[in-house]
Homo-oligomer: A and B are copies of this chain.
Amino acid sequence: MKPWIRKSRKTVLQDRWLSLHADECELPNGRIVSPYYVIEERDWVHVAAVNAEGQILLTRQYRYAAGVMTSELPCGIIEPGESPLDAARRELKEETGHVARDWTQVGVLFNNPARYTNRLYCFLARNLTHQSPQALDDTEQIIWEFASPDEVMRKIASGDFCQALHVATWSLALQWMAAGNG
């Protein structure tokens, strides 16, 4: 199985949030595919933060594209020059005011490698302390709460915890803890 070859690229949009490219690709069998859309976004972090009682820290916010209120994990973009772990610490603190003493990277996934270039760094954070108020900018409105693993499963089933990428991170954190690491 061989990679595709990029024959040309037309950039449809390029700005600080994302870039969209329409590529002309040659497949290993000689077939040309055009346009094939590629979207570049910056890498992301997700934080599964678990307290001493085994409860998970959820954030609740409005998600505009789908027009839904969702329960999610603390998450965000890795800023230029920032390490994934530093971004994870920052997002957890900004969105919930919590800091964690123990951090484990439980996986590195792709957002969607068919369409997107960016990676998703998945962290488990434990030994939590609620240290400070949230530090949100004026485009963010986030409520945080703790929920048991059973409550998270019910929120997935009911459609309240409905972000597929966050379900992936939560499952990796659960499996890491179930494997005797926690």
Tell me if A135 is interfacial: C-beta within 8 Å of chain B: no
Q: Which partner residue on chain B sits nearest A33 by CB separation?
A: B139
Residue in B31, B38, B163, B175 whose CB lies within 8 Å of A65: B38
Report how many copies the assembly holds.
Answer: 2
Per-residue CB contact flags for chain A residues 21-61 toward chain B (1 = under 8 Å, else 0) read 00101011101010111110000000000000000000011
Instruction: Specify which chain B residues have a CB less than 8 angstroms from the CB of A18 in the assembled complex.
Output: 37
Q: What separation, in Å, do the CA atoms of A138 and B26 have in the docked complex? A: 12
Given A36-B64, A114-B65, is A107 in contact with B70 using a C-beta cutoff of 8 Å? Answer: no
Q: Which partner residue on chain B sits nearest A32 by CB separation?
A: B139
Instruction: Specify which chain B residues have a CB less than 8 angstroms from the CB of A38 in the assembled complex.
Output: 64-65
Residue in B1, B70, B138, B170 whose CB lies within 8 Å of A141: B1
Q: Which partner residue on chain B sits nearest A174 by CB separation?
A: B171
- Tell me how many residues of A have a C-beta within 8 Å of chain B: 65
Does B20 contact A165, Cβ atoms closer than 8 Å?
no
Tell me if A67 is interfacial: C-beta within 8 Å of chain B: yes
A residues with a Cβ closer than 8 A to B are 1-4, 12-13, 15, 17-18, 20, 23, 25, 27-29, 31, 33, 35-39, 60-70, 107-117, 120, 138-139, 141, 143, 153, 156-157, 159, 162-165, 167-172, 174-175
A-B contact list, 9 entries, CB within 8 Å: A1-B60, A1-B141, A12-B20, A17-B37, A38-B65, A65-B117, A112-B165, A153-B175, A168-B171
